[in-house]
Structure 1
Amino acid sequence: MPDPSRDLAERLYGTPPDRFVAARDAAVAEARRAGDPATAREIAKLRRPTVAAWLVNLLAIRRPELVADLADLAEALRTAQRDLRGPKLRELSAQRRAVVAALVAEARTLAADTEGAPPAGRLPLAEVESTLNAALADTGVAAQVRSGRLLRSTSYAGFGEVPRPQLRLLTGGAAEPSTGKPSTAEPPAGKPSAGKTRTGERPGRAGPRERAEQAGHRTDRAEQADRAARARAAERAERAERAERAERAKQRRALERELAKARTDQDRAETELIGATTAERDAADALTAIEAELAELERRRAGAEQEVSRRKLARRTAERAATAARRRTGEVEGALEALLAEEGAAGTGDDTAD
């Protein structure tokens, strides 16, 4: 079945736990609307993380370079433990405490910048710290931390890496695993055991031949101890050189990552600057065009206002003329009616006289 996309998983596991279920259900519904029921079922299987696990997931999602540094430190710690390098181990342990404290502080900052996150006083930062320490000791936990899908916090109560390195006892010969049990080996052939004597010799006294053999044995043991000491010194020097090379390689990788990030940030900033400059120029051009249009509209408005005034004056003049004409028409009609009335009266009188 298809797994949810990385972007979707990061979005869900970067969501505060109180909002995880709602965001997951919305993603399931969206997958179903898109006609992808298999993906919808896989999304529905995702489980809500605890607050501490969510904080660790924020680090893996938003600060993966810091989590990568944690993995490098874990490898250096394991190397120092395997090589039994006390001073280097103490130095790395101090570095571990500083790195874990910085990661916890970064998790608190990321939570403060996330909408819907719990208040700072309720963040389980101690659980975050124990989980990061467990990731330094356990490669399985480290893988879960890097995945950004951690569901709950964890801790490691042991010492050193998991599994612990097997300690070895270095002798003049080949190195053998130390089991912590008393040795039951028989003394080498040709060497008498303590408390035993050769046949015919009295206990507590040795003849010239035995004394010579004992002196030879002591010389052999001294030579073996000297060779073992030189071998141990050479091995320590070789381990120190390997550790120094590993440290330099780690520093180089860290600087290369920092340089790559700085270049990426610079490219992004340069791109944003170009875009902002272009947008500013376009906005200025648009403002100039609007101002020109506004000036033209103002000019046209003034002309229109003058035209309205002229038309208003002409209307008033026409109204006065119409009023005068109506009044004149009424006067003429009245005069005509009077004249007609007079003519009618005169005609009636003439008819009566006849």
Structure 2
Amino acid sequence: MPLPQDLLRRLYTEPPEGFVATRDAAVAEARRSGDPATAREIARLRRPTVAAWLVNLLALRRPELVADLTQLAEALRAAQRDLRGPRLRELSAQRRAAVAALVAEARRLAADVEGGPPAGKLPLGEVEATLNAALSDAGVAEQVRSGRLLRAASYAGFGEVPRPQLRLVTGGEEPTPPAGPPAGPGHRAADRRTGRGEHAGRADQAGRKAGRADHADHAAREAGRTTREDDRAERAARKADRAERDAARATREAERAARAERARQRRALERELTRARTDQERAEAELAGAAEAEHDGAEELAGIERSLAELERRRARAEQELSRRKLARRAAERAVTAARRRTGEVEGAIEAVDAEEGAAAEGPGGAD
């Protein structure tokens, strides 16, 4: 049964100082839950070093950056296989930039982790070495992607140089001297009687000579074998030297290409800066014109508002004068009405007087 991913993520992203306590707590929890198999699996987990922890932070919190590094590694290996120098130099420059960016991101991620090591004690050199190893070794790259790296890795850059397999040549026992030709009965009798000791001495001397010859042949064969092995070792060393020189030359060419690329980028940025400054000056001039127009508009609006205020005051005075005149008109209308009423009353009185005079005049005179 696979372990819970959230537990693995928590274990390998928290500072290494808290790894053991968190792991032991998870073991105890699994045991309380009646899952001894999971408890044993969790107990087997090992605490990473600080450098491995930083790499695990990258793999678990910024997996897209690690994926980009893997793609760059595949491109580098393809360029090395195809011996494409310009492409290799370009990719080498990208490799340095990518590794530097990842190291900076690891420093930033570590700063965001509560209780992590201080920034001055982070083993960023080991992180860089591990990332470079991941670029060169697919096995290291797989460990980095897993987010469960336990220790930093490194890579020499040229692969393994074959070691000469030398054997120590030692002298063996001298061979048993070969027996001489069989002697006839007469000789054996004479040997037994007079020259047995002399004959044995000559046979022993001949045997020693044959043994020395065999030993010399054996030593010559071993010397030749040793010489061939030394030659192979020398060729391997020369091959390694050539590889190192080629790598150094590729590094220098990559650095020159990187410098040229930086110079090109600087020129492009300077041109862009010139255009940006020109646009800035144009925008500032437009801003000054717009600010001046805004000021003029504000002045014009203030003048209009002053005129409106004056008109409002004049309107208020006109309304007051109109009200006064309306009152005067109403008073005049009342006066006219009263005058007309009085005129009618006077006219009625006059008519009554005239009527009385007429009646009086007609009465006495008519009787005579």
Give the TM-score, by structure 2 length: 0.48
Larger radius of gyration: 2
Name the structure with the higher helix share. Answer: 2
Give the TM-score, by structure 1 length: 0.49
